[in-house]
Amino acid sequence: MDLMSRPSSELEGANDESFSYKSARNTLRRENDARAGPSPQPDICQRLPSGAMELTEKRFDELVDEALGHLPAVFLENLDNVMIVVEDEPEDGSDVLGWYEGVAITERDTSYGFGHLPDRVVLFRGPLTRMCEDEEDLLSEIEITLVHELGHYHGIDEERLHALGWG
């Protein structure tokens, strides 16, 4: 099922102390460690003298798809009217890894929907590839960034995300 066609409902407990993203993050990291596979081919991923990792757009998109497949179901089953997109760089020139643009589900009311463009989770290829050493590291950072930005979609503010270990 496509992310855009998933049913919408509130993510219960997201702002409660009992809801643990740390355990989900630890699970993701353990799964990443267990997935140590063959090294990427040189024409797909290589280190540049500047320190940035060079990756084809297609390969980066494949890693985003793979990262989405690793996320806990609770983050994906409630998505409604959300696009996940990749852009090269943030417009402000910063090194922000991702951005959420939209109306969190906790702030939507009965007027939401008509005339609203889809919310957007934006991943920035440049900053992500510059901070990562290899594809395994990049996959992990993409997963973490997706969880962080989807946390905003679910109504979790920046302070709470940092407290939960997803900052």
* pLDDT digit string (tens) for the chain, length 167 residues: 333 333 333 333 444 443 333 344 444 444 444 443 433 333 333 434 455 688 899 999 999 999 999 998 887 888 888 999 999 999 999 999 999 999 999 998 888 877 889 999 999 999 999 999 999 999 999 999 999 999 999 999 999 998 988 87
Q: All domains of the chain, ordered by start, with CATH?
A: 57-167 (3.30.2010.20)
6's CB contacts (< 8 A; 6+ apart) are 76, 77, 78, 79, 80
